[in-house]
Chains A and B, each alone.
Chain A
Amino acid sequence: MSAATGPVVWAGSKPFPKAARTQLAKAEQRATLNRVTHQIRRKRAAVVAERDDWEELRRAGEQIKNRVLRHLDTYLEQAERSLVAAGVTVHWASDADHANRIVHALVKETGETEIVKIKSMVTAEIGLNEFLAKRGITAVETDLAELIVQMADDLPSHIVVPAIHRNRREIRDIFAEHMPGVPSTLTDEPRDLAGQARRHLRKKFLRAKVAVSGANFVVAETGTLCIVESEGNGRMCLTLPERLISVVGIEKVISTFADLEVFLQLLPRSSTGERMNPYTSLWTGVTPGDGPADLHVVFLDNGRTQALADPVGRQALRCIRCSACLNSCPVYERTGGHAYGSVYPGPIGAILTPQLRGMDDAVDRALPFASSLCGACYEVCPVRINIPEVLTHLRARAVEHDREHGRHRLERMVFRAVANGFDDDERYARGLSLGLPLAHRLAGRDGIHRLPFAGAGWTQSRDVLQPPSQSFRAWWAEQGLDAFDGEAAR
C-alpha cells in the first residue's frame, strides 16, 4: 500500500485558490467553458430523462463496482487468469515509474521510435508520453482533442474533452502552426478541422507497429477489455498495429460480461449526452489474422490501494471517468481544469488526486476545499459517488495534516473558540447580547464594504450586511412565549 509516486499533478502546479485566480482572468476561455459545459449538461439531462430506470441503473453501477472493490484481490487474479488464457501477457505495476518502465521496455523491444495512442487518463496520470519522449520514443495522441493539446504543448483540462478550453478558431491556428502540410485555406469549420486531422492521423495509423491504450473496463470472467470512444481513432489503434499495450488501473475490473450492460448505458449518457457512443471496442485476447497478435496488459496501482483502504474515500474508485461531475460543477465551469493542477480535474479530481498522492503537498491539501459543496456532482454521478461526503472527509484529513505539521494555527484556534462558544449557554447568549449591538453600530446601515485579512476575500464582491441589534433569542425572551412549559422544554 503506497501513495502514487508518479506525476498525477503537473510539475509547478499552484494550490487551487491561486491557480483559479489565474484561470478566472481568461475571459475567452471562460466564455468557451460556459458554453460547452452548459451544452453537455442539457444534452445529458435530456437523454437521462428518457430513462425511467435511470436511478436503478445508477444503483446497479454503484453496487457492481462496490462488489468488485470489496473483493478486488480475487477479481484481479481472476482477470489475470482469463487474460493469460486468452493469450495476453499480464504485467503488474506498483507505481507510475514502474508502469512507464514496463511500457518502455515493451516498445524498445520492437525497435519502434513512434507509437500511436488511444486517449487514456491512466497514461496521462503516469506521464507516459514524457517518459518515452526522454528515451527517444514519440507517442502520438490520436484522439482529436488530445492531439490538439499535444500539438500546442498544452495541458488537458477535461477528462473526456481535454481541449475543452480551446475554441475552434484557436484549434485552427494550432493546426496551421503545428501540423505538417496544412493548406493555408484551412477554415475553423469543424468538418474542415476534422478532415485535416484525419489526413494527418491516417498516415500515423498506417505506419504504426505499436499502440498504447487504457481501458474503460476489464471483464474478470472473460479477460475482455473494453474501450468506449467517439471518433474511431481508438478502433484504428486497436486493430492496425502488431503490438498493443493496455495500461489499466486496478479499479477498472468488473466481474462479468453482463455487467457491461449497465455501464454501457450509464457511461455515454453521462459523458457526452448520447444514448450510445459511436465506437465501442471489445477484445478478448488474440484472434489470429484479426488485430494485434501481441497483447499486453499492465495493471497499475499508483495509490489506488491506499484509496481503497479508506472506508469513506474508496467510493472514488467507482469512477468511470464520464466527466458528468465536471460538466455540472459551477466551480469547474468557471475555473476550467488547469486550476486543479492535476490530470484529474473537477469534483472527481478534487477527491481522487489527494487520495492517490496523500496530503504532503499543498496542491493536494487545497483540492478538497475547491468546492461550495452544492452537490450538483453527486446528483449526476452515474455510480453515485457522494463527492460532497468525500470532500468533507478529506478536508478533515487536510486539517489534521496541518495540525500535525503546525500549519494554520490561527484558523484552528478560531474554529475551536467558536465551537466552545456555541457549546456554552452563557457565553453564547452573552456574546450575542453584547456583540450584536456593537456590530450593529459598527456596520451601520450601509454595511461594511471592506474587511481586512481573510475577510478581504468576502468583501471583494460582497458587502457585509448590517447585523440586527437584537438576537432572536433575546426577542423570544422578551416576548415570553414559552410553549409547553414544564412539559418537554428543558
Chain B
Amino acid sequence: MRVALFITCVNDAMFPDTGKATVAILRRLGQDVAFPMAQSCCGQPHFNAGYPTEALALLRRFVRAFDGYDVVVSPSASCVSMVHENHTRLAAVTGDAALQADVAALVPRVLELSQLLIDVMGVEDVGAYFPHPVTYHPACHGLRSLGLGDRYPRLLAATEGLSLIDLPDAQECCGFGGTFAVKNADTSSAMVQTKVDNILATGAQVMATSDNSCLLNIAGALVRRTGAMRTMHAAEILATTRASGESWRTSAPALARSSA
C-alpha cells in the first residue's frame, strides 16, 4: 500500500511534530509513507472565507501532488473534510471533465489518520505508552462531517497507562472557524472560554484533539488563562512508546519489518 502523508499547511508551519508523529506511528506499524513535496494547502481557508476561485488553484495542486498513491493520510479532520465535501463541488463548477474525473478518483482515497489506522489497517492498539490523564476534544469536522465517532477515543483508550477523562459538552465547537475567530472575535472568544472552562474542569494533564486548527485556538486560550495544561494532537500521544518515549520528535523510527 503506497501511503502519502498530507501534512496540511497549518501543521507544516505550526505543528510539524504532528506530522512526525504520524510518520512514526505508521513506520512502527510497518507502513512506509511518502511525502510529496508538491503539496501545500487544500484550499480550505480560501473556500471558507468566500474565495472559491483561489481555492480552485490549490485543488489542482492537491490533485497533482497526490495522484498515484493508494491512500493519502492526514492528521487533520477539517482538511480531510474539505477534500471530501468541497473538492468535488469545486471541480464541478469548472466544467473541466478531466479534473472532475481525477478528483472523483482521489477523494475516496483521502483518509484521516484514525480512519487509516482503524478502518484500513485494522489496528486499535498502536503500542503507545502515555501514563497521563488525557481529555479529548473531537473537532467539529471530524465529528460531524467525517463521522470519526469514537475512533480516537478507542485509540487513546488502548494506550498503555493513559486514563481518558470525558470532556463535558465535548461535541461543542471551540469557536475557531478560521476567519470567524477574527471577524467575529467577540463571539469566538465567548465560545473558546466555555471550551477552556470545560477542559480545565476535567483535571486532565493533557488535552488532545484530532485537528490542530482547533488547537491554535484552544491552546492559545488555555495559555492565556492558566499557562499550565499541555495540548497535543492525539497522534503525538499515539506515537509515544515505552521503549523510545518521544524520540520521534527528533528522528523517525526505523520501518518495522512486519509489513501490512
Where the two chains meet, the residues of A that have a C-beta atom closer than 8 Å to any C-beta of B are: 16-17, 20-21, 24, 330-331, 334-335, 368-376, 378-379, 389, 392, 395-400, 412, 415-416, 418-419, 422-423, 425, 428-429, 432, 435-436, 447, 449, 454-458, 460-465, 467-468, 470-473, 475-477, 479, 481-484, 487-490
On whether A461 and B58 interact (CB within 8 A), knowing A374-B173, A479-B252, A490-B68, the answer reads no
Tell me which residues across on chain B come within 8 A of A461, comparing CB atoms: 185, 188-189, 192-193, 221, 224
Are A372 and B252 in contact, CB atoms less than 8 angstroms apart? Answer: no
A335 to B57, CA, bound (A): 36
Where the two chains meet, the residues of B that have a C-beta atom closer than 8 Å to any C-beta of A are: 2, 4, 7, 9, 11-17, 19-20, 23, 32-38, 40-41, 43, 45-52, 54-55, 57-58, 61, 64-65, 67-69, 85-86, 89, 140-141, 144-145, 171-173, 175-193, 216-217, 219-221, 223-224, 251-252
Identify which of B58, B188, B192 gathers the most chain A CB atoms within 10 Å of its CB: B188
Are B57 and A423 in contact, CB atoms less than 8 angstroms apart? Answer: yes
On whether A395 and B48 interact (CB within 8 A), knowing A370-B184, A375-B140, A375-B144, the answer reads yes
The smallest C-beta distance from B218 to any residue of chain A, in angstroms, reads: 9
CB nearest to A432 among chain B residues = B13
Are B45 and A418 in contact, CB atoms less than 8 angstroms apart? Answer: yes
Q: Which of A17, A375, A425, A449 contacts B186 (CB 8 A)?
A: A17
Are B187 and A335 in contact, CB atoms less than 8 angstroms apart? Answer: yes
Tell me which residues across on chain A come within 8 A of B176, comparing CB atoms: 372
Tell me which residues across on chain A come within 8 A of B69, comparing CB atoms: 488
A397 to B52, CA, bound (A): 10
The smallest C-beta distance from B92 to any residue of chain A, in angstroms, reads: 11
Closest 4 CB pairs of A and B: A457-B185, A372-B177, A462-B220, A395-B50
Identify which of A419, A455, A463, A489 gathers the most chain B CB atoms within 10 Å of its CB: A419
Are B40 and A372 in contact, CB atoms less than 8 angstroms apart? Answer: no
A25 to B49, CA, bound (A): 27
CB nearest to B89 among chain A residues = A389
Tell me which residues across on chain A come within 8 A of B251, comparing CB atoms: 479
CB nearest to B41 among chain A residues = A422
Are A425 and B38 in contact, CB atoms less than 8 angstroms apart? Answer: yes
Are B177 and A432 in contact, CB atoms less than 8 angstroms apart? Answer: no
The smallest C-beta distance from A417 to any residue of chain B, in angstroms, reads: 10
Are B182 and A472 in contact, CB atoms less than 8 angstroms apart? Answer: no
The smallest C-beta distance from A452 to any residue of chain B, in angstroms, reads: 12
Are A472 and B68 in contact, CB atoms less than 8 angstroms apart? Answer: no
A371 to B251, CA, bound (A): 40
A397 to B53, CA, bound (A): 12
Are B184 and A475 in contact, CB atoms less than 8 angstroms apart? Answer: no
Are B190 and A334 in contact, CB atoms less than 8 angstroms apart? Answer: yes
The smallest C-beta distance from B20 to any residue of chain A, in angstroms, reads: 7
A423 to B62, CA, bound (A): 10
Are A396 and B52 in contact, CB atoms less than 8 angstroms apart? Answer: yes
> What are 11 pairs between A and B in contact, CB < 8 Å?
A370-B187, A432-B13, A436-B13, A447-B220, A461-B189, A461-B224, A462-B217, A468-B15, A482-B35, A488-B4, A489-B36
Are A462 and B224 in contact, CB atoms less than 8 angstroms apart? Answer: yes
Q: Which of A331, A422, A436, A454 contacts B58 (CB 8 A)?
A: A422
Tell me which residues across on chain A come within 8 A of B16, comparing CB atoms: 468, 470-472, 475
Tell me which residues across on chain A come within 8 A of B189, comparing CB atoms: 460-462
CB nearest to B17 among chain A residues = A468
CB nearest to B14 among chain A residues = A467
Identify which of B20, B191, B192 gathers the most chain A CB atoms within 10 Å of its CB: B191
CB nearest to A368 among chain B residues = B50
Tell me which residues across on chain B come within 8 A of A476, comparing CB atoms: 19, 35
* Apart from A419-B55, A465-B14, 4 more pairs, CB < 8 Å: A24-B190, A372-B176, A419-B46, A490-B67
The smallest C-beta distance from A400 to any residue of chain B, in angstroms, reads: 8
The smallest C-beta distance from A43 to any residue of chain B, in angstroms, reads: 16
Are A330 and B173 in contact, CB atoms less than 8 angstroms apart? Answer: yes
A429 to B12, CA, bound (A): 10
Q: Which of B13, B46, B252 contacts A481 (CB 8 A)?
A: B252
Are A465 and B219 in contact, CB atoms less than 8 angstroms apart? Answer: yes
Tell me which residues across on chain B come within 8 A of A374, comparing CB atoms: 140, 144, 172-173, 177
Are B185 and A460 in contact, CB atoms less than 8 angstroms apart? Answer: yes
Are B184 and A428 in contact, CB atoms less than 8 angstroms apart? Answer: no
Tell me which residues across on chain A come within 8 A of B216, comparing CB atoms: 465
The smallest C-beta distance from A136 to any residue of chain B, in angstroms, reads: 42
Tell me which residues across on chain A come within 8 A of B221, comparing CB atoms: 461-463
Tell me which residues across on chain B come within 8 A of A397, comparing CB atoms: 50
On whether A483 and B40 interact (CB within 8 A), knowing A371-B180, A488-B69, the answer reads no
Are A396 and B50 in contact, CB atoms less than 8 angstroms apart? Answer: yes
Q: Which of B7, B67, B181, B224 contacts A457 (CB 8 A)?
A: B181
Are A471 and B12 in contact, CB atoms less than 8 angstroms apart? Answer: yes
A99 to B179, CA, bound (A): 39
Q: Which of B2, B52, B191 contacts A330 (CB 8 A)?
A: B191
Are A422 and B9 in contact, CB atoms less than 8 angstroms apart? Answer: yes
A484 to B31, CA, bound (A): 12
The smallest C-beta distance from A321 to any residue of chain B, in angstroms, reads: 23
Are A24 and B186 in contact, CB atoms less than 8 angstroms apart? Answer: yes
A483 to B173, CA, bound (A): 37
A379 to B140, CA, bound (A): 11
The smallest C-beta distance from A248 to any residue of chain B, in angstroms, reads: 33
Are B32 and A484 in contact, CB atoms less than 8 angstroms apart? Answer: yes
Tell me which residues across on chain A come within 8 A of B20, comparing CB atoms: 472, 475
Tell me which residues across on chain A come within 8 A of B43, comparing CB atoms: 419
The smallest C-beta distance from A275 to any residue of chain B, in angstroms, reads: 24
On whether A378 and B179 interact (CB within 8 A), knowing A334-B190, A460-B185, A490-B36, the answer reads no
Identify which of A389, A468, A475 gathers the most chain B CB atoms within 10 Å of its CB: A475
Are B182 and A455 in contact, CB atoms less than 8 angstroms apart? Answer: yes
Tell me which residues across on chain B come within 8 A of A484, comparing CB atoms: 2, 32, 34
Identify which of B16, B65, B86 gathers the most chain A CB atoms within 10 Å of its CB: B16
On whether A375 and B141 interact (CB within 8 A), knowing A334-B190, A472-B7, the answer reads yes
The smallest C-beta distance from B32 to any residue of chain A, in angstroms, reads: 4
Q: Which of B38, B46, B178, B192 contacts A490 (CB 8 A)?
A: B38
Tell me which residues across on chain B come within 8 A of A371, comparing CB atoms: 177, 180
CB nearest to A375 among chain B residues = B144
CB nearest to B184 among chain A residues = A17
A373 to B34, CA, bound (A): 32
The smallest C-beta distance from B38 to any residue of chain A, in angstroms, reads: 6
